[in-house]
Every structure is written in structure tokens, then in C-alpha cells.
Amino acid sequence: MELPKEFMDRMKKMLGAEYETFKQCMEQPHLRGIRRNSLKCSEETLCRGLNIGWSPVPFSELSSYLPAEYEHIGSHPLHHAGAFYVQEPSASSAVTALDPHPGEKVLDLCAAPGGKSTQIGALLQGEGLLWSNEIVKSRAAVLLSNIERMGIRNAVVSSCHPETLCQRFAGCFDKVLVDAPCSGEGMFRRDLQAVEEWSAAHVQSCAARQLAILDSASQAVREGGVLVYSTCTFSKEENEEVVSAFLKRHDFQLEEIAQKFGRPAYGDVSAARRIFPMDGGEGHFVARMRKCSGKAASFEEISVSKPQAFRQAQEVYRSIFGKEPDSQLLQVGDKILLLPPKTPALSGLGVLRAGVLLGIVKKDRVEPEHALFAAASKEDLLQTVDYSHDSPQIAAFLRGEELEAGGSGYVGVCVDGVTLGFGKASGGRLKNRYPKGLRSRR
């Protein structure tokens, strides 16, 4: 791979004596990583299922390097089950710096494809609210798919302009993450398109857009709240210079990041952190800033009337979990949703999903959906079958085939103890309900 000469000249000027080390790193294969989903899976279960040793990265306690020779990781049954997320190692650093805690209200403003949102969701442990936004509708659909696969119950996924969203929720969020669209220099080893699209002019245009997004994001942070800005690029224009310009325009204070991954950033924003390939990741920049003044506001909570199909939804939920729904139900068209606690008003914000899709209304009944089971543990469910990740039954299920099963009604299908999907049992057979768009061809 031949990198642009202008880019390499810039890196030589930036790195000085370390330039040759950087150049050698860029000639090596890119680093790969996975992040365990603590909502679904223990480290022991994941290592046994993937047949790997845990090789921790310095950027997140939930992440490990993946052996370079490991192939088809995305087709592994535990990946289908949301037990882990494939993520470039240093990409986990931004959420580590954000440090979300259960019960907090967190906004991920540029969230697709969902690596950082699903990391936030795991750290919230089902408590509080995660609002994940992506302005590009097609990418927001991918974001939603990953939120569902990872079993996150307390998320709202939207496709909305950042300014619109942040004006509506001014002062409402405890923590906001802006993982900004960038020139992608930290992806050069694994993304040829990023190399082909690079230019100094592109770097400048990215920097202008990043500052505009940060300006919007600043509104959503409550007084005393935290704003984290991150990129996967090396340029000072998109990193230190954007942060410096933002701090001059807004009453925020740059904070030291407790976890000392990578190295200090350059110049007067040295409290931010940089990650180069020689630091154990492909490339990232992370700055943590606290809002010093402003207002703290509360969400206008959504007003919900009882769904027309309320009784049918209750019945199907009871048949699966043996109890009443523990969340407020919302009917949107033919969809029944289990809302997160204290869900904000959603109108006009391009919301794709709030909470968990319980089921679809069909005539006089509600048919449960895959997302309901993806968000449930094996212990939650009244009826389950559990197979090993290398069993023929799991391979058949992922292809959409029927299985043998006793009992009757809706049955959760688990792999190594992690809920994968469901089927409906009758007459000794389990009719497969794994979504066609997710099925394996192998």
C-alpha cells in the first residue's frame, strides 16, 4: 500500500524521531480486536467459545486483541448472539474516557455503526438512558441492528440533524460523545478507500464540520456534565486545533483522562490523548471536557396511551417470561415497544426505535419479535434450548432450519448459554423465527 506523499511528509514533521517507527508500523498488518458484551457474556464463556486466550488491550477492560489468523469472526454463533463486538482496539478508548455509569443519561451523537454506543450500553447495565443518533438514515439502520444484536434495552436510536436534537434536549444529558466523521488516517492500514479519499483539503473540510458538530453537542450537556470528542485520525487540524477552537468559544474545561493509554496530545491540549500504531492501536484522538456553566434541564417525558393491542401484548409477554411486562408499552402502527424508563418525547426527531421491539400486531394477536429475545437472558425465559457453538443444531438454526424440540409455544434458542433467537415449538418441532436478513449461508 502506497500512502500519499503529502500525508507522509506531514507525519514526518509531526513525529520527528519516531517517524521511522511509525512508517514501519504502517507497513505491517492492521491490529484486530473484539469487545466482550458484559450484558450477555462472561470472559470465560467468550474465550472458550472462540477458542482464544484473552489478550487485553490498554484502552478498555472489556476488549482483547484478536489473533491475526482468526478468520470469519463475524459468522461465529456468539457474534450472532451479541456476545461480542468486533472493534479496532484503540476505538474503545473514547468510551473509556467518557466513563458512563449506570443511571446516567448519555448521548452518542455520531453513533453508526454502533461500536461506541454498544460499549456505552454495556457500561450502563440497563440503567439510565442511551440516545444513539446517526444523521445518515442507511447508517442509522445498521446502528439499530447492532443495538438490537447486543441486547440493549434502554436505548433510543434516531436519525436526526445534530443541531435539531441538541436544541431539543439542551442541558439534558450527563454525558455526550462526539466521535466525529474525520479523514480516517487511523484507518489507512485497513481501509483502502480512506487512503484514496485523503487530501489536505479533505482534512480542512473535516475540521470545519467537526467544530460545527461540537458546537451543537455543547448545548445538550448539562452544567457539570462531560463532553468527549474523538476521531480516528492523526492530523492536528482535526484534533488539537478543533479542541482549542471549541474551548475558546464555549465555557468548558479540558480534563485529564484517568486512563493513561497512548500519549499526551500536542500543545496546549496535552491533557487529551493520542494513539498511534506504535501505541497498540490503529489510531485515535480523545479529549474529555467538562461544562462549567449553563443549565441543567429535564426531559419532557413521552405521553403514552394504552396500546390498542395491550391485552394481546401482555399475553404474549407472559407466555415467554411468566410475568407482566416491567416497562411501559407503546404502540406505533403495528409495532409494540417496551420503552426505557422515563423515555423523552420522541416526535420530530427521526426516531427509528425506542427501547425493545416486543412484537408486531397481526389481526387479533401479537407475534413476538427477535429483538425481544435478543434482549433477554436465558434465565429470563420460561422455555429454552441451549446448544454448543459448534453443534449442528446451532448451524442449522442460523441457516433458518427447523429443530427438534419438546414442549409448545415460544422457545428461546441459546448458544453456550447466551440467547441467540427463538422459535415456536409444536408437535416435537421448533419452527425457526431467526430473521431472514441475519441468517448464515454457511
Q: Which residues are catalytic?
A: 232
Task: In whole angstroms, give the CA distance from residue 340 to residue 327.
Answer: 7
Q: Is the CB of residue 415 less than 8 Å from the CB of residue 389?
A: yes
Helix runs in 361-402, H state only:
370-374, 392-398
Q: Are 282 and 187 in contact (CB under 8 A)?
A: yes
Q: Residue 347 corresponds to which amino acid?
A: S
- Non-local (6+) Cβ contacts of 178 within 8 A are 109, 110, 210, 213, 214, 217, 227, 228, 229, 230
Tell me the one-letter amino acid at 371: A
Other C-beta atoms closer than 10 Å to the C-beta of 73 total 16
What are the two backbone dihedrals, phi and then psi, of residue 351, each rounded to the nearest 5 degrees?
-75, 125
Q: Measured between alpha carbons, how far is 252 from 246 in angstroms, rounded to an integer?
A: 9
- Distance (Å, whole) CA 44 – CA 394: 20
For residue 280, give the C-alpha cell: 497498540
Q: What are phi and psi of 266, to 5 degrees?
A: -85, 155
What amino acid is encoded at 201 in this protein?
A
Task: Return d(Cα 173, Cα 131) in angstroms, integer.
Answer: 9
Of 41, 124, 113, 44, the closest CA to residue 77 belongs to 41
Rounded Cα distance between 331 and 350, Å, is 16
Burial class (CB in 10 A: 0-12, 13-18, 19+), 105: buried
Decide if 375 contacts 389 (C-beta within 8 A): no
Q: 3-state class of 128 per DSSP?
A: coil
Q: Which residues contact 154 (CB under 8 A, 6 or more apart)?
A: 121, 124, 126, 127, 128, 129, 130, 340, 341, 355
Q: Which of 113, 108, 325, 439 is nearest to 413 (CA)?
A: 439
344 three-state secondary structure:
strand
Instruction: Name residues whose C-beta falls within 8 Å of residue 328's C-beta, 6 or more positions apart in sequence.
Output: 304, 338, 339, 341, 343
